[in-house]
Structure 1
Amino acid sequence: MRALIAAATGLALALALVLTISAVGSPSGRTSPKPLLTTVPSHP
């Protein structure tokens, strides 16, 4: 019986955490307008 109560409590806490994170929303970040430039090493 204790295991069932512990599992129900853990599930309720996980659900509360997910709902809290989804209510807060994602941070308002922006991506850089410049593309990432990479260099290819020269062939010998």
Structure 2
Amino acid sequence: MRALVAAAIGLAAAFALILAVTAVGAPSGETSPEPLLTTVPGPKK
């Protein structure tokens, strides 16, 4: 029975966290036009 209560509390906490993040929304701003480099550029020829 304790495990069931603990699972319900954990599920409710996770759901509340998801609702809070959704309510806050995405941060305002804009993305950078520069692409992100995923590798080190080699020597220029």
User: Same fold, TM exceeding 0.5?
Assistant: yes
What does the per-residue CA deviation read over 1:3-43, in whole Å, with 9 as the maximum and x for residues that have no partner?
0000000000000000010011010121224x34x754146
The TM-score, its normalising length taken from structure 1, stands at 0.72
Q: Which runs of 4+ in 1 moved over 4 A?
A: none
Q: Which residue of 1 aligns with 2:43?
A: 41
Count matched residues. Answer: 41
Give me the identity figure in percent: 59
How far apart in 2 are the matches of 1:26 and 1:42? 39
Report the AA paired with residue 10 of structure 1.
Answer: G
TM-score (norm 2): 0.71
